[in-house]
Amino acid sequence: MFDNLTFDGSYVYDLPIPLVDARLTMSDLLKNIDGQDLFADSNGLLRIFYQDEVLYDFSDLKIDVPNQAATISPSFTVPSPFSDDSINFLNTFVIPFFSSSSDPNVRLDTIQVKAMDFVLLSPTIGTVQNRVRFEIRSSDIVDSLGRPFSMSAPLQPTAYTLNLTNYRIVPSSGIIWGSKQIRFDLVTTIFKDTTVTEEYTFRPYITARLEDIEADLMYGFFGRKILGPKDGAMDLPIFSRFPMDFIEVEKAYMNLSVTNNSGLPIELDAELSTLTHAPDIRTFDTIVSLNHPQNLLASPITATFQQEIQELINDNSGYLPYEMQYSVKVTTNPSSTNPLSVMNFLSENSFIKMNVGVEIPMKLNVKGFTVADTVAFAGIPFSGDIEAFTIRANIHNAFPIGAAVFLYFLNEDYQVMDSVKLTDIAAALVNSATGQVIDRKISQIDTDLSRTQITHLETTRYFRIAGVLDTDGEDTMVGIYEDSEKEGFLKVMIGCRIKASRQTLDDIQNLFKD
């Protein structure tokens, strides 16, 4: 800043000494604030995003499937003598398929099995059992390749257990509308016995059971239910950093990002309220509807929603908000006119997730606001032969409003002893579309101190540089930008020229060298 200084013959010595190099920015007010994400948009404007996550599980929609069982007692007439080596008999029976839900609006149609056992009990006794085998099969239970379930074994007084993990149960409709059943075909084979000389009746007793059923995917209808509401709160510490007569946010937004990874259409109702130190509580409400993915193996469906809520911030109550409270509830199958005609599906990994946020672009009303910085100063040993002391200031203004710049002399107790007005500096030019500074103003000014002000330099321990943003009483919104060349700031570099004896100047120079 002291380039091209010219020597004045009336000066014994011309000594440039740096006193203050201060950068006063509103972004400094954002430092050391907990509880928010700070990011820049495409124009570089800083935004604060207070956010929280709400995650819904489906415990309220869980459908337990109890053990399913059926006992059959088919009757076979065995002719004698056999015309072939064996005779096959076909019988069909069903196992009712039902869930534990007592809600008539809940219907379970199909499940992808995570774990299940098929158990067959045969208490038949007698000599005939040694030449009887059976095969049991069902097209309502299929494996991962779509092949029907089947098993075969000799008919013995024992239990046969087969694990059906990863099978799928696709029960058919029963006679009564809405009921479900699993159909089985039982093929009984009786082998020829030459010792039998007359026909007879054979009646085995067989119990078939589906046990310990667990599903990782369920298809059906799970009813219109309300999940929640879930409540939460977001602190707004940024507002406590600004003077109450200064802060006025141009806009604030409520953001919702809703991800539906369930097979249920949902309707989300979110309410946001602002708490201040005043008794007034203001609320905002919105409803978002979101369909469901067609396949849980595909990507979940995500919807985003934003609503301007500046009235919650600038509520004209004279109090700043310190907390935002929200309440979110989800209604499943909200608009179906015929609920049971809607196919839902749920997996053990199904979820509905919401990110609830308040977004605040940092464009603030700076009417009558002062930015200031305080720097330490070693002090100058006053001598009566200091004839002149000139303050030279280089001032850069990147606020879109003019400023009056002052320098204050503070003692070791931070008490103001004196002050000097350095200059008035014009407003920087901004892009009207983005609010970014495109031409900051630069001013260099020399100010001669009075004899009293020079005397105060001996006991000065701090300088405070202050820029009073002059808006002529008008509301002016100033943006805070990520790029320091575009963000609002007032930069002041101050040095001095001293006219004194050589000895005094040498003493001062040595003081600053130390």
List all residues 6 or more positions away from 499 whose beta carbon is below 8 Å from its beta carbon: 8, 10, 11, 12, 13, 386, 387, 388, 389
List all residues 6 or more positions away from 349 whose beta carbon is below 8 Å from its beta carbon: 216, 261, 296
- On the 0-12 / 13-18 / 19+ scale of CB atoms within 10 A, 92 is exposed
Contact between 205 and 123 under an 8 Å Cβ cutoff? The reply is yes
- Single out the residue of 228, 119, 218 nearest to residue 169, CA to CA: 218
What is the predicted pLDDT for the residue at 12?
Answer: 43
What is the predicted pLDDT for the residue at 267?
Answer: 87
Using CA atoms, how far apart are residues 487 and 480, in angstroms rounded to an integer? Answer: 5
Using CA atoms, how far apart are residues 350 and 345, in angstroms rounded to an integer? Answer: 9
Q: Where would I find the H helices in 238-380?
A: 310-313
Structure tokens at 347: 């997996």
- Write the DSSP string, 76-139: EEE-SS-SSSEEEEEEEEEEEE--S---TT-EEEEEEEEEEEEEEEE---SGGGGGEEEEEEEE
Using CA atoms, how far apart are residues 467 and 370, in angstroms rounded to an integer? Answer: 6
Q: Where would I find the H helices in 309-442?
A: 310-313
What is the predicted pLDDT for the residue at 3?
Answer: 44
| Positive or negative: CA dihedral 148, 154, 156, 161 | negative
Structure tokens at 100: 């534990």
Longest dimension (CA), the chain: 148
pLDDT tens by residue, the chain, 514 residues: 344 444 444 444 445 566 667 776 666 656 555 556 777 777 777 788 888 888 887 777 778 888 989 998 888 888 877 778 888 999 999 888 877 777 777 778 888 899 999 998 887 655 566 788 889 999 999 998 999 999 998 877 888 899 999 899 988 765 444 568 899 999 999 888 777 778 888 888 889 999 999 888 888 888 888 888 888 888 776 666 555 555 566 777 888 888 888 888 888 888 888 777 665 566 777 777 888 777 776 778 888 878 777 666 666 565 667 788 888 888 888 876 666 667 788 888 888 888 888 888 877 666 666 777 888 887 776 666 788 888 888 888 887 778 888 999 999 999 999 999 998 888 888 777 766 778 888 888 889 988 888 888 888 888 888 888 776 666 667 777 766 555 567 788 877 778 777 777 777 777 666 5
Structure tokens at 6: 């010219």
* pTM score of the predicted model: 0.64
Contact between 128 and 204 under an 8 Å Cβ cutoff? The reply is no
Q: For the CA atoms of 422, 427, 429, 433, what is the dihedral angle to 10 degrees?
A: 150
- Single out the residue of 391, 271, 262 nearest to residue 325, CA to CA: 271
What is the predicted pLDDT for the residue at 366?
Answer: 64
DSSP lists the bridge partners of residue 119 as 161, 209
Q: What is the CA radius of gyration of the chain?
A: 42
Identify the DSSP state of 310: H
What is the predicted pLDDT for the residue at 502?
Answer: 75
